[in-house]
Structure formats: structure tokens, C-alpha cells
Amino acid sequence: MLESVPDMRENIIAEMKTYVSEDKGNVCEELQSPYYEEPIIQFAAANDPLFEEYKRVVGPDHATPQEAFERSFGMRSFDGGTVISVVLPISETIRKANRAQKYRASREWVLLRTFGDEYFVQSARRHLTGYLAGLGYRAVAPLDTDWYSIHGAAGGPISNWSERHIAYAAGLGTFSINDGFITEKGIAIRLLSVVTDLKVTPDARTSSATGHTGNCLLCSKGICGVCITRCPVQAISKDGGHDKIACMKFVYGQASRDFAVLNGGEAKSGAGCGLCQTKVPCESRNPMRTAR
């Protein structure tokens, strides 16, 4: 059985910060800007009971870390380990451009969708698994496996590995009224995660005291709701929360695909939207830090 290696936490954090800072795939030459700023990296114990709870909260097909690991390395190959979750804050250049938009994403956001969200985030996942393998540990990024899937449900699409729920388990933030995820670097972020048999000390979940929507001003204090007014298709409401189906049709529909191509992105990625993640109090910070 692998022993706990607490000092590996700082090594992994430093490695991912360096990768995001120096890898050329994180730079948009046209914008003269990175897609993402310095990441936040935290850790969850693979045997955290919350992962079993996700089969009820997210869906029965949501994999536990053990299931995710053993689907890649074989039954009974897992003897405990860690889930590493990484927050990639979207750069100020891209966020600023999207603040000015009222109906469609900015060109900058379109480029982020294809070359940041699709290409760089995947390369960052692969870098992390490769880094761990180089240290002698097995690791898998569930989103890069053949079993990862998103399927339709009555309330909208559901995945069998939710990066937002993984980030919540790692203590990186909480959910918002629009189903986004509010971290200390705000809601305009992207997430990635890796399951490994390396064992390190997990981070605490401060949200256990504030609830799973503790960082959202509207959910916690009944104030704000700016994201509701920012949504171009009225897919967010105070009482109904987030209409995933209306949102998905707008973000990934044919008009979005055409708009992506028109602005230099790829049709399969869509143009995205991000209006409810920009020009809002939680765009780049945890708004509860000043609201308490």
C-alpha cells in the first residue's frame, strides 16, 4: 500500500502553476493574452463519503473515484488515493471583452471555447496525469476516458463525472443559482480533475458550514441576481434556478456553432456564452468575502 506523502501537495501545486504559466497552448497570439490565469489546486480523499452521495445528488451513474480508477486499471487495482481538482480562472482580457456583450459571447470568449476549453484544458489534464506517472503513481483524468459520457435527463444533461462536484468535494467553492461554481477566483473559471493512487492530506471543505450554495449572494442572502438579468435566453430565475435545456440549446445549438466558425473557433465547440459569468459580482472573486 502506498504511504501518504504530504509534501507532494506543494510539488503538484507548483507543477501545475508552472504549466499554466509557461505552456504555449495557454496563449492566444491573436489576443496577446493567456486563456487562463494562475490556477488553484486542491485535494480530496478518494474515500470521502461525499462521492457516494453524488450517486443520489448528481445521478446513479456518477462514478466514485474508485470506480473511475478501476475502469482504467482493473478491478481491485485501487487501494485508496486522492482526487486532484484544479481551478483555471479565465483571464481578465477575455472576461473584460465578454462584459460588454448582451446577447452573444465576445470573439474572445469564442476563441476561449475552442482553444482554451477544448484544447488547453485537455492538455493540462494529460500533463497532470503524465507528471504523476513520472513520479511512479497511476492516475486517470475521467473526462479523457472512453466511459465518460453526458446523457439527457428530464431536467437537462447529466454527466457521469461532474468537474464542479469534484471541485466542491475538494473544498474549492460552492454552486450558484445559475449552476456555475463560485471559487475564491470567482465563477468565470474552468475545472479539471484527476484521480490518482498517490495519497496526500485532503483540503477541508469550509462549505460544510455555509451550505452548497454558500458563495452565491442570491442563494445565501437573497440579494444580487445579476446573472438572471444577464442571461440572453432567460434560462435563470430566482425560483426555478437554471433551465439547463434552454441554456444548452443556446450555447451549443446550430446558431452558436455558426457564430463560433464566423469568429475563428470550431463548430463542434460552439461559441459558448459566459454572460452570466461576467459583469457579475462573483466574476473573479468570492463575493461573500465582502458581504459578511
DSSP string, 84-110: EEEEEEBPHHHHHHHHT-SSS--HHHH
Which run of H or E residues covers position 28? strand 27-28
Instruction: Count, in order, helices (H) and strands (E) of the chain.
Output: 13, 12
At a CB cut-off of 8 Å and minimum separation 6, what does 75 contact?
none
Q: Which amino acid is at 54?
A: Y
Would 270 be classed as within a structural domain?
Answer: yes
Beta bridge partners of 36: 90
Per-residue pLDDT of the chain (292 residues; tens, 9 = 90+): 444 555 699 999 999 999 999 999 999 999 999 999 999 999 999 999 999 999 999 999 999 999 999 999 999 999 999 999 999 999 999 999 999 999 999 999 999 999 999 999 999 999 999 999 999 999 999 999 999 999 887 778 899 999 999 999 999 999 999 999 999 999 999 999 999 999 999 999 876 557 899 999 999 999 999 999 999 999 999 988 999 999 999 999 999 999 999 999 999 999 999 999 999 999 999 999 875 5
pTM score = 0.94
How many structural domains does the chain have? 1
Specify the pLDDT at position 206. Answer: 77
C-alpha span between 88 and 20 (Å, rounded): 9
Tell me the residue range of the domain where 257 lies. 9-277
Of 88, 81, 87, the C-alpha closest to 201 is 81
Ordered alpha helix ranges (H), the chain? 8-22, 50-57, 65-73, 92-99, 107-111, 121-134, 163-169, 207-210, 217-221, 226-230, 244-252, 254-262, 288-291
Specify the pLDDT at position 152. Answer: 81
First CA to last CA across the chain, in angstroms? Answer: 44
Of 271, 268, 249, 247, the C-alpha closest to 260 is 271
Specify the pLDDT at position 86. Answer: 98
Specify the pLDDT at position 207. Answer: 66
C-alpha span between 54 and 31 (Å, rounded): 39
Would 123 be classed as within a structural domain?
Answer: yes
Q: Which three cell numbers stand for residue 89?
A: 480562472
Q: Which amino acid is at 195?
A: V
- 215, 182 in Cβ contact below 8 A? yes
Q: Which three cell numbers stand for residue 20?
A: 499554466
Q: Which residue has the cell 446513479?
A: 60
Would 271 be classed as within a structural domain?
Answer: yes
Q: Which three cell numbers stand for residue 213?
A: 450554495
Would 2 be classed as within a structural domain?
Answer: no
